[in-house]
């Protein structure tokens, strides 16, 4: 027999205006966004909505299978009746795909963010697009089968990749890491061919996806203007203003890797210009500079390529040659951040990836290269932070955040049938 609930509601109380009712429902459901169990009192205290209105909203979501009762909780120190606790009930899953130049990661999570499984495998984006997505389909099929997950269990999927991506149209406008694909590629359509017509199919640039990971932390999400700087096989930025991502009509906002830093530099970037930040600080450039200073072997990573982590560790030991290399990085990034500051004026900049491992020596060099501009205050133009977390994990966090946001912003959730 179905459980009966006695909420002692006054049937004569006036109905709320539709817009206010929907807004209240959004506030109530948002309390469960990250998987918390809540009582009516918890939500009422957090939102300022009356307990009666909160309970009505919970009833509404329970009738749709979105929320469920978890039974009675623990009574307060004052004693009294134990409060009933409620939790998110939609058991569909999210799939985040990092389709990157050297490796791909698949990450499976619940809608509320609980990690369930992940796998990595090598990828080569210089192959034909059809071949890349054919391999991706095989890996996704095997991944889901291993977890006994059918496609009907998926709420949505999010794919991040290199290049300028238009989220609205689902187009990969262009990528210097796979120029063979051409431009204006309907990458969301390719994803739909693999996974079918899921409620949510999202595509985004890798830097903007990893950058969204900071939105999982309330102190960063409310920090005004925040820039995350993605540093790996490429350099790009995610520009966030009051929790919103800036992109632009050509999806070029944040492409700071193609900011001209030294037009006299002889190396031409794949974008067609010379002096791009991305080329001046690339692994290949830094490896050549390390060889010239006799540090080639010392700075070789596990995979045989240049290791930024080892460079920063050696610089912290005071090695003069290593400090010269980090000073080159600091000058290049300092010039780029100065250019960003005079057009965006951020409150905070956070380095992710390779430069996320930098130590105090690099930070001092960076700040020194940014001095001398009379418009900056004495303590600097903005706060600078370093996030050494695994970049693929940050990408999975950001991708999940996008799908979670898509779910909870769906107006159909809050409308009466």
pLDDT (tens, 9 = 90+) of the chain, 417 residues, equals 444 444 344 444 455 566 899 999 999 999 999 999 999 999 999 999 999 999 999 999 999 999 999 998 766 555 567 899 999 999 999 999 999 999 999 999 999 999 999 999 999 999 999 999 999 999 999 999 999 999 999 999 999 999 999 999 999 999 988 999 999 999 999 999 999 999 999 999 999 999 999 999 877 666 789 999 999 999 999 999 988 999 988 889 999 999 999 999 999 998 899 999 999 999 999 999 999 999 989 999 877 789 999 999 999 999 999 999 999 999 999 999 999 999 999 999 999 999 999 999 999 999 999 988 888 887 778 999 999 999 999 999 999 999 999 999 999 999 987
Q: Give pLDDT, residue 80.
A: 64
Q: Give pLDDT, residue 305.
A: 85
Nearest-angstrom CA–CA distance, 401 and 85: 25
Nearest-angstrom CA–CA distance, 189 and 202: 10
93-211+395-411: CATH superfamily: ATPase, nucleotide binding domain (3.30.420.40)
Nearest-angstrom CA–CA distance, 234 and 100: 10
Place of tokens 């080892």: 310
Residue-wise over 249-259: b if at least 16 C-beta within 10 A, else e?
eebebbbbbbb
Q: Please state the φ and ψ torsions of residue 152, each to the nearest 5 degrees.
A: -65, -20
Nearest-angstrom CA–CA distance, 346 and 385: 13
The CATH number of the domain covering residues in 216-389 = 3.30.420.40
Q: Is the pTM of this model over 0.85?
A: yes
Domain boundaries, the chain: 18-89, 93-211+395-411, 216-389
Nearest-angstrom CA–CA distance, 106 and 162: 16
DSSP state, residue 82: P
Nearest-angstrom CA–CA distance, 279 and 176: 12
Nearest-angstrom CA–CA distance, 230 and 141: 30
SS3 of residue 196 by DSSP? coil
Q: Give pLDDT, residue 135.
A: 97
CATH 3.40.50.720 fits 18-89, yes or no: no
Q: Residues 6 or more apart from 372 whose CB is under 8 A from it?
A: none
CA dihedral angle for residue 318, residue 324, residue 326, residue 331, rounded to 10 degrees: 140
Domains 18-89 and 216-389 agree in fold: no
Q: Give pLDDT, residue 217.
A: 83
Q: Please state the φ and ψ torsions of residue 188, each to the nearest 5 degrees.
A: -65, -35
């Amino acid at each position: 027999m179905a459980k009966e609930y006695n909420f002692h509601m006054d049937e004569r109380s006036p109905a709320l205006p539709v817009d206010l009712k929907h807004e209240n429902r959004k506030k109530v459901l948002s309390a469960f966004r990250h998987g918390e169990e809540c009582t009516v009192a918890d939500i009422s205290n957090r939102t300022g909505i009356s307990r009666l209105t909160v309970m009505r909203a919970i009833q509404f979501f329970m009738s749709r299978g979105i929320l469920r009762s978890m039974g009675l909780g623990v009574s307060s120190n004052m004693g009294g009746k134990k409060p009933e606790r409620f939790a998110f009930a939609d058991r569909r899953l999210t799939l985040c795909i990092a389709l990157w130049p050297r490796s791909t990661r698949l990450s499976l999570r619940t809608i509320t963010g609980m990690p369930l499984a992940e796998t990595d495998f090598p990828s080569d984006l210089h192959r034909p697009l059809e071949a890349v997505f054919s391999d991706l389909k095989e890996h996704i099929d095997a991944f889901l089968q291993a977890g006994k997950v059918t496609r009907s269990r998926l709420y949505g999927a999010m794919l991040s990749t290199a290049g300028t991506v238009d989220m609205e149209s689902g187009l990969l406008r262009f990528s210097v890491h796979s120029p063979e694909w051409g431009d204006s590629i309907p990458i969301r359509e390719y994803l739909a061919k693999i996974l079918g017509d899921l409620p949510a199919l999202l595509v985004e640039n890798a830097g903007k996806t990893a950058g969204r990971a900071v939105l999982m932390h309330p102190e960063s999400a409310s920090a005004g203007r925040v820039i995350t700087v993605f540093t790996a096989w490429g350099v790009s930025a995610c520009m966030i203003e009051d929790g919103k991502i800036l992109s632009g009509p050509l999806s070029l906002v944040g492409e700071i890797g193609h900011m001209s830093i030294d037009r006299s530099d002889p190396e031409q970037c794949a974008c067609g210009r010379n002096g791009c930040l991305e080329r001046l600080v690339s692994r290949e450039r830094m490896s050549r500079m390390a060889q010239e200073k006799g540090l080639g072997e010392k700075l070789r990573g596990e995979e045989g390529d240049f290791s930024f982590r080892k460079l920063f560790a050696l610089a912290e030991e005071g090695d003069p040659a290593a400090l010269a290399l980090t000073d080159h990085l600091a000058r290049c990034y300092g010039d780029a951040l100065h250019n960003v500051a005079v057009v965006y004026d951020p409150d905070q900049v956070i380095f992710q990836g390779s430069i996320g491992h930098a130590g105090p020596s690099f930070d001092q060099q960076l700040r020194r290269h940014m001095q001398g501009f009379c418009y900056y205050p004495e303590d600097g133009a903005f706060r600078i932070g370093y996030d050494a977390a695994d970049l693929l994990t940050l990408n999975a966090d950001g991708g999940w955040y996008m799908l979670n946001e898509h779910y909870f912003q769906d107006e159909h959730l809050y409308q009466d049938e």
